[in-house]
Amino acid sequence: MSKTALLFAGQGAQVVGMCKDLAEAFPTAKGWSDRANATLGYDLASICFNGPEAELTKTENAQPGIFLVSWVAFELLKERVPNFEFAAAAGLSLGEFTALAAAGAMRFEDGLRVVRRRGQFMQEACEATRGGMAAIIGLDEEATREVCAQAGVALANLNCPGQLVISGEIEKIANAVELARAKGAKRAIPLPVAGAYHSPLMAGAQPKLESELAKIEISATAVPVISNVNALPHGRPDGIHARLVEQVTSPVLWEKTMRVLLAQGFTQFIELGPGTALSGFMKRIDKKAKILNVADTASLEATVKALK
């Protein structure tokens, strides 16, 4: 029998219209959307369903919006496949909070409030610094690390073979892009982001997030959730708290996280939330892995059919 791991989407996956068809088709999805609005005290669901894009793209809306859509996908999957079981979970950056909530480490409402505040704190850190990010395509990790050292920037995301993301001061990122191209990168592309996520420039957000996490109850996980920071399973609740704070400035070890799960015998992965970026990464990491996703009604039906 195949072992299943759940993968939860991260920031950047947001798209206007996400979750709208699910909320129209399933009372459960509408219920969670209403619950999110009540928890936060504003109409987050409407921003997800209808935009405008500029409002959804704001970090303080994108993070809780993706958390909500990913949670709805998770709840609908459990509803439609009553005997559904998963044995591990992981999430890309923001998605790690959703993975922890799905594994019972925090309540939905607490997770939603924390990621909303996390988004605000990260936006404040962006505004206090002049940071940016760039995708480096077709250059290996060692060569990219050399570029980072030379330019004075950080390696922020190790997504899959041949796709890395760097982060740092905007002028240094521009220099790093040129250095990466000179080293033979197929593409080196500045990204349309508000700041230098997963770099030391985000340090201003950490004490505020630490204080926010101290207000909620964090429990041990019911199944292993792999940390972005060290690609190891989360342990005690105080350790979960510490890793989530560290995660703000630490690189996201996504490829290593996936390889840990593959080495443990996981063969089926279900991406939950908007987009299919994580499915794309897995195809580059292991072509043999079975990948399903739930982002809308069509993908939900396809995944339910595959699981049944």
Count of CB atoms situated within 10 Å of the CB of 170? 15
Pair 48, 19: CB distance under 8 Å: yes
Q: Which residue among the candidates 33, 198, 199, 250 is catalytic per the annotation?
A: 198
93 as an active site residue: the answer is yes
Q: Helix, strand, or coil here: 217? A: coil
Strand order, beta sheet including 131-137? 154-160, 163-169, 131-137, 187-190
The CB density around residue 194, as the number of other CB atoms within 10 Å, is: 18
Q: Hey, what amino acid is at 294?
A: V
Tell me the HSE value of 253 on the side-chain side, using a 13 A CA sphere: 17
Selection from 267, 273, 281, 133 nearest residue 195 by Cα: 133
Q: How far is CA 232 from the centre of its chain?
A: 16
Q: How far is CA 260 from CA 26, 152, 185, 240, in A?
A: 35, 30, 27, 18
The string of DSSP codes covering 42-79 is: S-HHHHHHH--HHHHHSHHHHHHHHHHHHHHHHHHHHH
> Cα-flanking dihedrals φ and ψ of residue 88, to 5°?
-165, 165
Q: Which of 33, 70, 93, 167 is catalytic?
A: 93
Residues 6 or more apart in contact with residue 251 via CB below 8 angstroms:
154, 155, 156, 157, 158, 198
Distances (CA, A) of 162 to 137, 172, 195, 281: 5, 21, 23, 10
Verify whether residue 198 is a known catalytic residue.
yes
Report the alpha-carbon distance of residue 265 to residue 24 in Å, rounded: 37
Q: Annotated catalytic sites, by residue?
A: 93, 198
